[in-house]
A and B are shown apart, each in its own frame.
Chain A
Amino acid sequence: MRERDVNESPDHNEKEDGAVPLFGSWRRAYLAVVVVFVVEVSFFYFVSRFFS
């Protein structure tokens, strides 16, 4: 059996990606966070510009 590196993520073997509620996978969850960030900054920018 292959010896694990101390830094190796459990995702490599345990296939946790298949069991993420709401998003389906962690990758999609992270992508959703980035999308929300873009929406939030766009909103802040809109407020800055619209009312100035």
Chain B
Amino acid sequence: MSGIDYAVLFGTLFAIAIYGWWKTHSDRDLGHYLHGDSSIRWGTIGLSVMATQASAVTFLSTPGQAYESGMGFVQNYFGLPFALIVVCVVFIPIYHRLKVVTAYEYLGQRFDQKTRLLGAFLFLLQRGLAAGITIYAPAIILSALLGWNLRLTILLSGLFVVIYTTSGGTTAVSHTQKWQMAVILAGMAVAFGMILHRLPPDVSFLQAVSVAGKMGKLNAVDFSFDFQRRYTFWSGTLGGFFLALSYFGTDQSQVQRYLAGGSLAAGRFGLLFNAVLKLPMQFFILLTGVMVFIFFQFEKPPLYFNQPAYQRATQGAQAGQLAALQTRYDAVFAQKQTEIRALTSALDAHSAPAIESAAKAVRQEQEKVEALRDEVKQSLKVANPKSETGDADYVFITFVLNYLPHGIIGLLIAVIFCAAMSSSASELNALGSTTVVDFYRPLLRPNASDAHYLFASKLLTAAWGGVAISFALFANLVENLIQAINILGSIFYGSILGIFLVAFFLRFVRGSAVFVAALSSQALVLILFYTTKIGYLWYNLLGCVVVLSLSALLEKTFFRARNLA
């Protein structure tokens, strides 16, 4: 990175952080701090919801995922529009009418205090750890590739967020996310344009897309009923629906965003904005990854994208094997380029048999490349058994750092930091608010002044920021944390969603029954997690179904008998 990149990066980050602080520093209103300012409009809410969901990993991993596996990942979001409609119809009107600050306050009003505390506690546990990872994940990749000090990178991105989130609360988070999302969308559009610009002059966009299709990278929709496949229309629509419903309906980091405007219509429009635009946005990010893949058909990419890890391995016992693999790769890539050129010529000539024959040859060469990459990963695993050998997260950033002009590099790094900061700001804001509203106020200081609660909210938001930064600093000692946090989320989401669905739809069930059912469901999920190998996404559905059925059963039997007695 050059001076101009650093100027663009720090200029963008400082400008947004200072804007967030300036916009809210004189506001002493507790309601604005926790609940947001009524002047926040639906567009800001929509961008804020989008920015909260889109973390740095979205922009580092998603293009890499498309590079490796094509567009199929977009199906993961097919359930999202339907879940958002349910949130608009069922969840938001109730939250608004009861004027709750946190989703768990509703549980207190619908059931009792212990159920409210259980929901809030599960949220704090899961989101508190996730906030650390949100800061840690981009820092580990950027520090590895740019040679930055990891701890300094974590502190830099973490402290920016803590300052403006602590200072301005919900209002600051919503206003800064609007500009962060603008930077993210502008940066991704510029990156997409630059990729097309860097393609060979004789390869048009349509030809590039055709080559991607012939190489199996445009497989966006799969209607098959194969349960072994990770992404299909059905798993994305059904599984994605439950995942999105629990995330948008019960996770305070999202609930706080769409309750921020103060009006029911603003919250609903903000969510419908996401229901309409989330799929095209994900499609566009994946298409960017596919275009990077096409670019690397004409320009030789590294055999393994995590170059620092690869370079370290070439200094060790695996050096000979890696050198032999590199030689084989050079030969396979040269042959593949010949076949790619034959394919583009056949596409120019519109000759169907020639296209099919050239496409088959290209796919065969690509399979050889993938086999070589697998061998490299195995070799790296031998060199360091504890290392993560997946390199998809490094694909897009490698392209950015090596093939984009200075200035644009700074903008794209700013995109990644903006995404990390927007997600962690929502998380810290939600963690601070939940701690004050659901624990501190009812349990420790029930009758204090607004000024006292405002001070406590700021202090607790900063404290959660400290916890997240400390966790991120500590996380470099532990392997595979990103997956661990995904698993942790799935373990708790099912039970939380179950409690809320019982609250909304099983009106005869009361607090004690749902409390016992939620604890039992959580215990069952934990036992299954430690004793079986069920895919962790299934815990979302399982936990939810157990809470729904067990709470109804308990209310009709055990608790009915107790109430009658």
Partners in one complex: yes
- Stretch from B163-171, B180-188, B205-213, B383-391 forming part of the interface with A: B205-213
- Interface residue? B218 (CB, 8 A): yes
CB distance B78 to A41 under 8 Å?
yes
For A44, give its contact among B84, B89, B283 (CB under 8 Å).
B283
Closest to A13 in B: B97
CB distance A52 to B214 under 8 Å?
yes
A9 CA / B233 CA spacing, docked (Å): 32
CB distance from B551 to the nearest CB of A (A): 15
Which of the four size classes fits the interface of chain A? 20 to 34
- Interface residue? B152 (CB, 8 A): no
CB distance B218 to A52 under 8 Å?
yes
- Interface residue? B147 (CB, 8 A): no
Q: What is the 8 Å Cβ interface bit string for chain B, positions 75-108, against chain A (1 contact, 0 not)? A: 0001001101100111001101110000000000
CB distance A16 to B265 under 8 Å?
yes
Q: What is the 8 Å Cβ interface bit string for chain B, positions 97-137, against chain A (1 contact, 0 not)? A: 11000000000011000000000000000000000000000
- Interface residue? B13 (CB, 8 A): no
Question: When A11-B93, A30-B88, A40-B279 are in contact, do A6 and B264 touch as well, CB less than 8 Å?
Answer: no
CB distance B220 to A45 under 8 Å?
yes
CB distance B98 to A6 under 8 Å?
yes
Interface of A is mostly: helix
Interface of B is mostly: helix
Closest to B212 in A: A51
Q: Hey, which chain B residues are within 8 Å of A33, CB to CB?
A: 81, 84-85, 272, 275-276
Q: What is the 8 Å Cβ interface bit string for chain A, positions 1-15, against chain B (1 contact, 0 not)? A: 000011111110000
CB distance from A32 to the nearest CB of B (A): 8
Question: When A34-B81, A51-B209 are in contact, do A10 and B264 touch as well, CB less than 8 Å?
Answer: yes
CB distance A20 to B221 under 8 Å?
no
Closest to B90 in A: A9
CB distance B85 to A30 under 8 Å?
yes
CB distance A45 to B221 under 8 Å?
yes
CB distance A52 to B219 under 8 Å?
yes
Q: Which of B273-292 contact A (CB under 8 A)?
A: 275-276, 279-280, 283
- B74, B89, B93: residue with the most chain A Cβ atoms closer than 10 Å: B93
CB distance B219 to A26 under 8 Å?
no
Q: Hey, which chain A residues are within 8 Å of B85, CB to CB?
A: 30, 33-34
CB distance A47 to B220 under 8 Å?
yes
Q: What is the 8 Å Cβ interface bit string for chain A, positions 22-35, against chain B (1 contact, 0 not)? A: 00001001100110
Can you name 20 A-B residue pairings with CB atoms under 8 Å? Answer: A6-B109, A6-B110, A8-B97, A9-B94, A9-B97, A30-B85, A33-B84, A36-B276, A40-B280, A41-B233, A44-B220, A44-B279, A45-B221, A47-B209, A47-B220, A48-B218, A48-B221, A51-B209, A51-B213, A52-B214
16 more contacts with CB within 8 A, not counting A47-B218, A52-B214, are A6-B94, A11-B93, A19-B265, A20-B265, A29-B268, A29-B272, A30-B272, A33-B272, A34-B85, A36-B275, A40-B280, A41-B233, A44-B279, A47-B213, A51-B214, A52-B219
